[in-house]
Amino acid sequence: MFLRRFLPDRFTCALIATVALASVLPCRGATASAFNVLTDLAIALLFFLHGAKLSREAVVAGMTHWRLHLTVLASTFVMFPLLGVLLRPLLSPLVTPDLYLGVLFLCTLPSTVQSSIAFTSMARGNIPAAICAASASSLLGIFITPLLVGVLLESHGQAGMSWDAVGAIVLQLLVPFMSGQVAQRWIGRWVDRRRAMLSYVDQGSILLVVYTAFSAAVLQGLWKQMPLPVLGGLLVVNAVLLAIALLATRYGARLLGFRRADEITIVFCGSKKSLASGVPMAKVLFAGHPLGAIVLPIMLFHQIQLMTCAVLARKYAAKPVEMKAIAEARR
């Protein structure tokens, strides 16, 4: 039972299998073009359904807790990018330049929605605030992430973000999202009743992007340029970023005077990075870069954050029981 906590879930296994398939049988030529079109359609559908699933009532109910939301947004869009830049002299020698570019991109991404809420619930945190904070982060990330990527690309010695890329983000991600919000009036209940089924759309679109990205990267010699020590270095880089984020959000929340339920929400919403948003955004923003190296850091970070936060959520949930047991023992 203990070891099962650390075993990868089915989706992570599917990601690994997809990377293996792309490494052995990469798509090319007309097949690659067809996969690119299919991927674009899947991403548009993904963000349309996210718009249709997002509960306006939950957002309005949680918006009053503005200090918590500002703290989560500051962690996601200020602390993480600063960590990526400030730690670059220390961490970049562990990986290739393209991989560290992917790490910088990881630092600009919004928080997850589903897993942030799930872990907050598991740890007995402020669930309405988590719904609002994670949803706001995901929505604002459509605007903020491209701007942050432009700034960090320039600091990394790359060309800045073009308005064409920003326009592509708006067209491919924001327009479907807003269309889903408009359609929520008619299809919102239908979508809500089929959340489990529609999760396959989330996962399927990510797998499509990963397969096309790694196919192109393999054809460009990705694995020849990435020995095992470099992959080990990437693991260390991601672990360091997550550890600092978890410590900063936990003790920062306490210094700011948040109660325990709000601290839990800040920890699980402020330390996460979204694979579901990151992979589609990378496809648009890094069209001229080796995409496999760009998305590999977020794929690895995704698994690390799930395993770590699962253990942390259980500890948070068990703490009231432990405190009660101690109090009863003292009587």
| Backbone phi and psi for residue 48, each to the nearest 5 degrees, phi listed first | -60, -45
pLDDT interval class at 1 (50, 70, 90): very low
pTM for the structure as a whole: 0.73
Which pLDDT belongs to residue 265?
A: 93
Q: How far is CA 236 from the centre of its chain?
A: 18
Q: How far apart are CA 205 and CA 207, in angstroms?
A: 5
Q: What angle do CA 146, 240, 243 make, to 5 degrees?
A: 95
CB distance 177 to 50 below 8 Å: yes
Q: Identify the weakest region by mean pLDDT among 106-115, 134-143, 162-171.
A: 162-171
CB distance 300 to 234 below 8 Å: yes
Closest CA to 272 of 240, 247, 305: 305
Which pLDDT belongs to residue 60?
A: 61
Which pLDDT belongs to residue 190?
A: 83
Q: How far apart are CA 302 and CA 312, in angstroms?
A: 15
Which pLDDT belongs to residue 166?
A: 57
pLDDT interval class at 146 (50, 70, 90): confident
Q: What percentage of the chain reaches a pLDDT higher than 90? A: 24
DSSP 96: -
Dihedral in degrees, nearest 10, Cα atoms 260, 266, 268, 271: -140
Which pLDDT belongs to residue 95?
A: 92
Which is it for the CA torsion 161, 180, 117, 262, positive or negative?
positive
Closest CA to 240 of 52, 107, 53: 107
Which pLDDT belongs to residue 253?
A: 95
Q: How far apart are CA 280 and CA 47, in angstroms?
A: 10
Q: Is the pLDDT of residue 89 over 70?
A: yes
Q: Identify the weakest region by mean pLDDT among 40-49, 225-234, 270-279, 321-330.
A: 321-330
Q: What is the average per-residue pLDDT within 208-234?
A: 78
Residue 126, both tokens: 């402020």
Q: What is the average per-residue pLDDT within 240-255?
A: 96
Q: What is the average per-residue pLDDT within 241-255?
A: 96
Q: How far apart are the first and last CA of the chain?
A: 34
Q: How far apart are CA 113 and CA 126, in angstroms?
A: 14
Burial of 103 (0-12, 13-18, 19+ CB in 10 A): buried
Total residues found in the chain within this entry: 331
Residue with tokens 């359904």: 49
pLDDT interval class at 167 (50, 70, 90): low
Which pLDDT belongs to residue 214?
A: 76
Q: Identify the weakest region by mean pLDDT among 11-20, 64-73, 99-108, 322-331.
A: 322-331
**Alpha helix positions (H), the chain:** 10-24, 29-53, 56-62, 66-74, 80-86, 88-91, 97-108, 114-122, 127-155, 163-169, 175-193, 195-219, 228-255, 260-270, 275-285, 291-330
Q: What is the average per-residue pLDDT within 84-108?
A: 92
CB distance 311 to 5 below 8 Å: yes
Which pLDDT belongs to residue 259?
A: 92
Burial 125-164 (b: 16+ CB within 10 A, else e): bbbbbbbbbbbbbbbebbebbbebbbebbeebebeebeee
| Mean pLDDT for the chain overall | 79
Which pLDDT belongs to residue 127?
A: 78
Closest CA to 205 of 45, 49, 52, 53: 45
Most confident of 41-45, 92-96, 136-140, 305-309: 92-96
Which pLDDT belongs to residue 258?
A: 93
